[in-house]
Amino acid sequence: MKADLDDLLRSNAMDALLVIGPARHNPAMVYLTGLLHVSDGLLVKPRGRAPVLYCFPMEREEAARSGLETRVLNWHEFNQTVKGDTVELMARLCQHVLGEQRVTGRVAVYGQMEMGEALGALRTVEERMPQVRFVSESKHISVLGRARVTKDAGEVERIRRMGKVTVEVVGAVVDFLSSQSVAGGHLVAKSGKPITVGEVKRLIHRLLSERGAEDPEGTIFSVGRDAGIPHSAGLDGDLLPIGKPVLLDLFPCEAGGGYFYDFTRTWCLGHAPDDLAAVHELVLKAHQQSLASLRPGIQAMSVQERVCDLFEAQGHPTVRSQPNTQNGYVHSLGHGLGLEVHEPPAFRASVEGQVALEPGMVFAIEPGLYYPEREIGLRLEDTVWLRPDGKPEVLAPYPMDLVLPVRSRRKTSTIRKGKGPGHRAKL
């Protein structure tokens, strides 16, 4: 957690953090400053001292909203000196703030930047300031990575709020879909015009934006074969067929680049074919089994391993049994999330997954099974907080039903009735 920063700097033998870039859509900066309208900031946090945020004159009042000590840079002087050379500008800014804060030694550097320019600037700083050494650390062991992997109460509440937004939007999508009619095997509006994936995505965007959220990484709303390829996002012109999987993977964040939520449900409009229903039952079992096993101290990879056991026992290929499979269970069980939609810990059957779960971690659990050529793709995902009392809590519960009844269909459209977890009311 953020409160541990000095301890983490010490244990990683770092003398300071340097964070560069905007205070929006830039996780490391947003973590330390909050979401601000600051487009060019530099934050220095020497070990044992409070962070200082440097900004340009036009953004002085926005920077001050961080509540941190702020200093205004002499923009004119820098601008004149560097003569339009953005690499040199960045180098000089780094030199200035490190020098003024008397930083020497090992510096962990963060911020999403154009990597070519960053490389040039940081090399230049090291040449000019031999007392400074920028140290690269992988996210799962870096100072900020380790701080961010457990969330404090304020962070959890923000993720929970995004969860509330997410299930509200999902509920509205379900209401929209189930209030349409059917013609020619597809969902159609009362006018007879087919409902498209693009139309639903626009509805989702509007609902998110009305709730102070956005989906910078996109939204997956994919149908049939596309649902069988986990990152196929769905094409705007696609129609919504009856009796095929419709997968909605929604991962919005607070507008401006704040905390994320991650959520997936897969539905079948009207009725579900038997093979898809069987897959749904098994994925639901994997989800429930995983949730039940979560507790502090267990290895993330062990949860993934148990899901592989379950799927393999039913004859499904997995990333464990057939590492490059494009059928069956083709990804890992989950991932941490916070200011990025994918953060540590990883729930992989690999060294990366050899991390003991801790109270305060927030992560997505998302088992799935995929057979694109058979038009089968099904994933169920929730975001879970491992609470201080050691219990896992889904931050925004939502029903898991497969079949989404649609109007103008006969009783056969609800053949799966009663097989879900029983929360039909909202559907």
Applying the rule CB under 8 A, the residues between 99 and 118 that interact with its own copies are: 108-118
Residue 137 vs 312, nearer CB to its own copies? 137
- Applying CB under 8 A, does 326 fall inside the site for its own copies? yes
Q: Across the strands, what pairs with 254?
A: 213
Residue 374 to residue 314: CA distance in whole angstroms: 17
Residue 206 vs 417, nearer CB to its own copies? 206
> Minimum distance between the CB of residue 397 and its own copies, rounded to whole angstroms?
26
SS3 at position 328: strand
Closest CA to 250 of 163, 336, 314: 163
Residue 1 vs 229, nearer CB to its own copies? 229
- Applying CB under 8 A, does 323 fall inside the site for its own copies? yes
- Applying CB under 8 A, does 327 fall inside the site for its own copies? no
> Minimum distance between the CB of residue 289 and its own copies, rounded to whole angstroms?
23
Q: Across the strands, what pairs with 46?
A: 16
Residue 174 to residue 144: CA distance in whole angstroms: 38
- Applying CB under 8 A, does 96 fall inside the site for its own copies? no
- The 139-168 site mask, x for binding its own copies (CB under 8 A), equals xx-x--------------------------
- Applying CB under 8 A, does 309 fall inside the site for its own copies? no
Contact 396, 169 (CB under 8 A): no
> Minimum distance between the CB of residue 78 and its own copies, rounded to whole angstroms?
11
> Minimum distance between the CB of residue 54 and its own copies, rounded to whole angstroms?
15
Contact 246, 221 (CB under 8 A): yes
Q: Measured between alpha carbons, how far is residue 100 from residues 81, 103, 217, 272 in Å?
A: 18, 8, 37, 66
Among 244, 331, 379, 416, binds its own copies (CB under 8 A): 331
Return the residues of window 233-262 that contact its own copies according to CB under 8 A. Answer: 233, 255-257
Among 8, 29, 43, 121, binds its own copies (CB under 8 A): 121
Residue 89 to residue 246: CA distance in whole angstroms: 49
Determine the straight-line distance between the first and last CA of the chain, rounded to whole angstroms. 38
Beta-carbon-side half-sphere exposure of residue 240 (alpha carbons within 13 Å): 32
Q: How many residues bind its own copies (CB under 8 A)?
A: 83
Residue 222 to residue 224: CA distance in whole angstroms: 7
Return the residues of window 174-193 that contact its own copies according to CB under 8 A. Answer: none
Return the residues of window 25-64 that contact its own copies according to CB under 8 A. Answer: 25, 28, 37-39, 57-62
Angle value at C-alpha 87, between 139 and 24, nearest 5 degrees = 50
- Applying CB under 8 A, does 218 fall inside the site for its own copies? yes
